[in-house]
Amino acid sequence: MKAVTWHGRRDVRVEEVPDPVLQQPNDAIVRITSSGLCGSDLHLYETLGPFMGEGDILGHEPMGIVEEVGTEVGDLKVGDRVVLPFQICCGHCWMCTQGLHTQCETTQVRDQGMGAALFGFSKLYGEVPGAQAEFLRVPQAQFMPIKVPEGPVDERFLFLSDVLPTAWQSVMYADVPEGGSLLVLGLGPIGDMASRIALHQGKRVIGVDRVPERLERARARGAEVINLDEVDDVGEEVRSRTNGRGADAVVDAVGMEAHGSPVAEVGQRIFNALPKRIVAPLMNKVGIDRMSAIYTAIDAVRRGGTVSLIGVYGGQSDPMPMLTMFDKQLQFRMGQANIKRWVDDIMPLLVDDSDPLGTEEFATHQVRLEDAPEAYEKFQKKTDGTVKVVFKPGQSVAS
Ligand SMILES: NC(=O)c1ccc[n+]([C@@H]2O[C@H](COP(=O)([O-])OP(=O)(O)OC[C@H]3O[C@@H](n4cnc5c(N)ncnc54)[C@H](O)[C@@H]3O)[C@@H](O)[C@H]2O)c1
Ligand SMILES: [Zn+2]
Ligand SMILES: [Zn+2]
């Protein structure tokens, strides 16, 4: 089959690789019809290379049709239309029963000290072959697949694999009070969707980014926006719009590659230049993050407010302004999203034909798998209006 594979920093290729096969009785094989490209893939593309292996298959936002099933997959059947969560989870361990699927005790990557295994996400997360491919082996298939109805186009349901529950969790964790305000840092797919969800819930949303079309997407749906490049100080600007207090809550949907942290950017480059075996253990121990978004969050949130970190961070000793965090009496909530925890809450909005979250128009680019190298580059550089790319394996689509 064809698959998108990792070969080095900013080097992804589309290659012929062996088709996946059933390995466990609770495996299934899914033929992928749509597969998203995510800001998290950009971390692998740019910064987390030391944890990747040459030829690793990327991708963790798939949906498709069940092609083959093992003997222990419950009521899953060949031909079912399914979305797969990005994390691999069993559904019956203690963590899964608490709704903490991203900490699943059956799939935790213990030798790396990490939580649940993830599709297409480096050695840190189990080096499980990813979903930007024609076929995917789905472990824990007695629990993993989210069955979705026939009818609407893939994009209506595809984002249940990551973007929708991730954005949903970020808003739930932000815990915006009734009539309160939410500052969303970063208006990539995750921040954009978080804004849509908060607006849908009747909250006041202020979104921040520096990419004009991303700001415009959020503005068009009812968010107030701030262009990073047009203000001296985001915190001051937010306070001026919120009675001098700051936002009740902040979602940081930027993560470790924030724009505006030149020193850490140099650090990330140096790591990229060193041999892998030296860098991987080192990266785990020292700060690798560009912290500008999180510092903005701490500054712009009001005293007693909540910071919800959904952007991915990495290192261990990035300096945090503890005095300010303590003095402002802040609450922090963070982590990978527990996809299955939120599916039942979101599904009613997806089967609603008015499509209140605008899922059908959410992707800006539908492209063939073969166009992955170009799509990664455009998504990273934010050119050609690229906000959300969906790969269409095995289909001919105009790119
Ligand atoms: N926690 C999870 O489960 C989970 C799931 C999916 C994605 N993520 C993470 O969420 C983050 C966003 O993902 P995405 O797909 O939207 O990616 P993205 O890279 O397209 O979006 C990031 C956005 O932040 C903007 N930005 C950069 N620096 C900024 C700054 N200092 N202030 C404000 N905005 C700034 C960029 O212009 C960009 O639009 C990534 O870190 C990704 O890894 C986390
Ligand atoms: Zn993703
Ligand atoms: Zn589990």
Q: Where are the domains of the chain?
A: 2-162+338-391, 166-334
- Give 193-207 pLDDT, tens digit per residue: 999 999 999 999 999
pLDDT at 399: 43
- What is the chain's mean pLDDT, rounded? 93
pLDDT-wise least confident of 52-56, 160-164, 291-295? 291-295
Mean pLDDT confidence for 107-135: 96
Report pLDDT digits (tens) over 346-388: 999 999 999 999 999 999 999 999 999 999 999 999 999 999 9
User: Any idea which ligand is nearest the CA of 99?
Assistant: 3
- Cα R_g (the chain), whole angstroms: 20
Can you point out the beta strands (E) in 48-161? 62-69, 81-83, 135-138, 146-147
Q: Lowest-confidence range among 89-93, 110-114, 315-319, 339-343?
A: 315-319
Atom of ligand 1 nearest to the CA of 234: 32
Q: Which residues surround ligand 3, an ion (CB under 5 A)?
A: 89-90, 93, 96, 104, 106
Q: What is the pLDDT of residue 99?
A: 98
Q: Strand locations in the chain, DSSP E? A: 2-8, 11-16, 28-37, 62-69, 81-83, 135-138, 146-147, 181-185, 204-209, 224-227, 247-252, 301-309, 331-334, 365-367, 389-391
Cα 283 to ligand 2 centroid, rounded to whole Å: 22
307 vs 175: CA distance, rounded Å: 9
Rounded-to-10 torsion of CA 363, 367, 373, 377:
-30
Domain spanning 166-334 has what CATH number?
3.40.50.720
Residue written as token pair 């128009």: 361
d(CA 45, CA 42): 5
pLDDT in tens, 235-268: 999 999 999 999 999 999 998 876 665 556 666 6
For ligand 1, atom 26: residue with the closest CA: 186
pLDDT at 268: 64
Residue 211 CA: which ligand 1 atom is closest? 37
Pocket of ligand 1 (CB under 6 A): 38-40, 42-43, 162, 166, 185-191, 208-211, 214, 228, 253-255, 258-260, 292-293, 310-312, 336-337
Class of CATH domain 2-162+338-391: alpha beta
Spatial separation of the C-alpha atoms in residues 345 and 347, rounded to whole Å: 6
Question: Which residue type, as a one-letter code, is found at position 23?
Answer: Q
Which atom of ligand 1 is found nearest the CA of 293?
31
How far apart are the CA of 61 and the centre of ligand 2, in A? Answer: 6
| Percent of the chain topping pLDDT 70 | 90
Instruction: Give the model confidence (pLDDT) of 126-148 as tens digits.
Output: 999 999 999 999 999 999 999 99
Q: How far apart are CA 51 and CA 64, in angstroms?
A: 28
Q: What is the pLDDT of residue 262?
A: 56
pLDDT digits (tens, 9 = 90+) for 269-325: 665 666 666 666 655 555 556 678 999 999 999 999 999 999 888 766 678 899 999
